[in-house]
Structure 1
Amino acid sequence: MSLIRYEGNGRMSKVVIHNGTVYLCGQVSAGENVKDQTLKTLEKVQDLLEKYGSDKRHILSALIHIKDMSFFSDMNDVWDAWIEDGFEPVRTCVEAKMAREDLLVEVTIIAAVKDSGK
């Protein structure tokens, strides 16, 4: 059984890989509005997945926390443009109080590590 933790800070790891599965902690980004924050956050997700042997086509599950459900449609516009047809993961979106007042969206991802031959 392999379990490797990356980018720990004494409280949490940013990434954990266990038995071929990549777990990302909740990702957030600054931005003027929910569309900006969602796009920047998904870019961070993509960068982390690629750094640790996966990509957005291998996402298994996405958990999205959104500050206010009135932002749901705008967030979905960005998500729908980002995710590729045929590679949609299971997904949950919930309204939540955010850790900082300026944060509008947070995305937590679970993905499969890519096969080395693909």
Structure 2
Amino acid sequence: MHEDYFNMKHSAVRNCIERCFGILKTKWATMRTKSYYPVKTQCRVISACALLHNYIRGEMSIDPMEIEAGEGDVQGANNMIDYIDHVETNNAWSGWRNALAEEMFNNWMGNHP
């Protein structure tokens, strides 16, 4: 019985993830085509698209693209879906972001003396 429960949960999570990627692909053109970037860069692009999507969801109570994709409705009948409505800061992420910004700035300065 425990295995059946796990399989149901796994299936539900997989469906949710597939819906999320569908929404990201609808919203961000870079997600629709084959990527030739290194895997690490691809992961960062996906994360950036997801963060931007979540930011937009925080600013707009109704996302027209989600309604077009059939993922939301104006009356709020889909409230059973758990949306990520905030992102908390974390030192590791903030450190990585700051290091990336500094690296980008230094590269830019090196190319623009």
Larger RCO (CA within 8 A; separation ≥ 6):
1
Compute the TM-score of the two structures, normalised by the length of structure 1.
0.26
Compute the TM-score of the two structures, normalised by the length of structure 2.
0.27
Structure ranking higher in helix proportion: 2
